[in-house]
A = this chain, B = another copy of it.
């Protein structure tokens, strides 16, 4: 065994805590759940939670991210610079469709949006830690497609990101949620619309 500085974190404990937080969030939403409930469901003490996460919102933001990125891998800035945009999009489209069509993703989106006004700290935390960095990658991809002449030179790229992300989450929340196959067609149409697929 190697000597560790400080207390080494047991990844199995992290996994159990994140899974418990995700389940509780999907079932009850951020306002109704507590650090105590998460600890109980994960089978750990509250101090174990607080050593890792200082707030419920920070923990739930990390838990949300485990589901959102379980299947989907985002390209790095280097890949975006080196690879034609439509290849990057095609590489991810089946996984993105599977994630979006997952009933748990649907319930997750409803809980996130549902708390945006009554409990804004969760949206704020998730936005800063996870959405904002991904938006910057998305804008980098759109800028490259723009440089390649496939997006209008005066297009507002932030609006395009909203139309892509907003369109998908809105479609998912409709009364007839899409299958993974329908979602794949949907994503292809949406990416074509903004110029990320030919």
Contact = CB atoms under 8 A, between A and B. Distances in A.
Contact of A164 (B110, B163, B165, B186): B163
A127 B173 CA distance: 11
Assembly of this chain: how many copies? 2
B115 A160 contact: no
Contact of A190 (B115, B124, B159): B159
Contacts of A189: 155-156, 159
B123 A173 contact: yes
A190 B156 CA distance: 8
Contacts of A123: 173-175
A7 B86 CA distance: 64
Interface string A3-32: 000000000000000000000000001000
A160 B164 CA distance: 10
Contact of A160 (B110, B166, B170, B193): B193
B170 A170 contact: yes
Nearest to A157: B189
